[in-house]
Amino acid sequence: VLCWFYIYPVYRLPRDKEIVEEVLRQGEVWQKNQTGIDLYRKLLTDCCDPRRMFAVTKENSPMGKVLWYDGEFYHSHTVNNETFSLFVQDNPLQLPLKKCAVVGNGGILRHSKCGRHIDQADFIMRCNLPPLSKEYVEDVGTKTHLVTANPSIIEKRFQNLLWSRKAFVDSMKVYGSSYIYMPAFSMKPGTDPSLRAYYALSDTSSNLTMLFANPEFLRTVGKFWKARGVHAKRLSTGLFLVSLALGLCEEVTAYGFWPFSVGLDEQPVSHHYYDNILPYKWFHAMPEEFVQLWHLHKSGTLRMRVGHCP
Ligand code: CDP
């Protein structure tokens, strides 16, 4: 610890307790800052071009295009007849989006009563196919316009879709007619399950539209945050979505981002609003990300909801 202190004397990530205290000091006071919003939209547009690049489309990924996996070295997929036919023509979103809600899965949402607030947004983004059953509705809402799905969920929860696809298709119904956003070209083992998820939905005339995350977009967003002090190997899903929202929406509110084990009332908080299963090495990335998000909150660029909703 001593060595570490001498090598990095300039920047030290505040300890969790200090972050929590800082949030308490600031309270929920928030003032929108249009200059900050415009600046971040420009920064993100310059680095990552979310409008054009967030999904793999026929426009940005024509036949023969080499898609380099962002989560692995030297792996690529060359767009062929089969994959090209699965891509949407172009960015399908009606831009600009007005009020966006990005909903993380933090346990802080439990008993927050934020459901009504969230449902009032024009565009609601959620992470990793979260549960939206009755018991959570009051806290997390019911509507979804875009939901991410990691291929590892397809593997763990739905037996990789190698057997029955009914459980998968049925459990997707809570997301209505939203976009399902899958990083199909991030890790090699994730491609096949993502394609199977696509076919499971299209074969059953599901209302959902599959969008594959563009690995180039994920890579440039990763670099963007790395340059701002987020040193994790990979960004959390939530920070990708906040970045997307900052690039596409006129106003962004983030809910459920709280990677700490105590709340503002000093009571224990579970990791997720639906369980307390900690991810592998989760603590390395998320507090760093939270500090960045909190800076954006303080500067009026996005709004973080970390307490109860009125
Ligand atoms: O797959 P990943 O671990 O990134 O996400 P998750 O546990 O399904 O949660 C979705 C997102 O919510 C994360 O990516 C984080 O950005 C955020 N989150 C948070 O800020 N605090 C928590 N305690 C849990 C999740």
- Of 240, 264, 269, 286, the one to substitute when testing ligand 1's pocket (max ligand atoms within 8 A of C-beta) is 286
- Of 136, 230, 236, 273, the one to substitute when testing ligand 1's pocket (max ligand atoms within 8 A of C-beta) is 236
**pLDDT tens for each residue of 165-179:** 999 999 999 999 999
In this prediction, residues 101-118 reach a mean pLDDT of: 97
Label residue 5 by pLDDT band (50, 70, 90).
very low
CA distance 11 to 224: 19
Percent of the chain with pLDDT over 70: 94
Average pLDDT, the chain: 92
Distance 287 CA to ligand 1 centre (A): 11
Pick from 149, 45, 107, 65: nearest CA to 256: 107
**pLDDT tens for each residue of 199-237:** 999 999 899 999 999 999 999 999 999 999 898 888 999
Using the predicted structure, report yes or no on whether residue 108 has a pLDDT greater than 60: yes
Pair 196, 163: CB distance under 8 Å: no
CA distances from 25 to 15, 22, 80, 235, 289 (A): 15, 5, 55, 27, 19
Ligand 1 pocket by Cβ (under 6 Å): 104-107, 127-128, 236-239, 256-259, 271-272, 279, 286
Pick from 109, 105, 108, 110: nearest CA to 125: 105
Higher pLDDT, 198 or 281: 198
Distance 271 CA to ligand 1 centre (A): 8
Q: What are phi and psi of 194, to 5 degrees?
A: -70, -40
pTM listed for this prediction: 0.94
Asked if residue 96 has a cis previous peptide bond (ω within 30° of 0), the answer is yes
Using the predicted structure, report yes or no on whether residue 12 has a pLDDT greater than 60: no
Tokens for 109, please give them. 């949402």
Using the predicted structure, report yes or no on whether residue 283 has a pLDDT greater than 80: no
Instruction: Please determine, for the modelled complex, whether the ipTM score is greater than 0.90.
Output: yes
Classify strands 123-126 and 76-78 as parallel, antiparallel or unpaired.
unpaired
Tokens for 213, please give them. 């995350």
Query: CA angle, corner 97, sides to 103 and 198, nearest 5?
Result: 65
Q: Whose CA is nearest to atom 7 of ligand 1?
A: 105
Distance 78 CA to ligand 1 centre (A): 31
**pLDDT tens for each residue of 62-80:** 999 999 999 998 999 999 9
- Of 23, 105, 148, the one to substitute when testing ligand 1's pocket (max ligand atoms within 8 A of C-beta) is 105
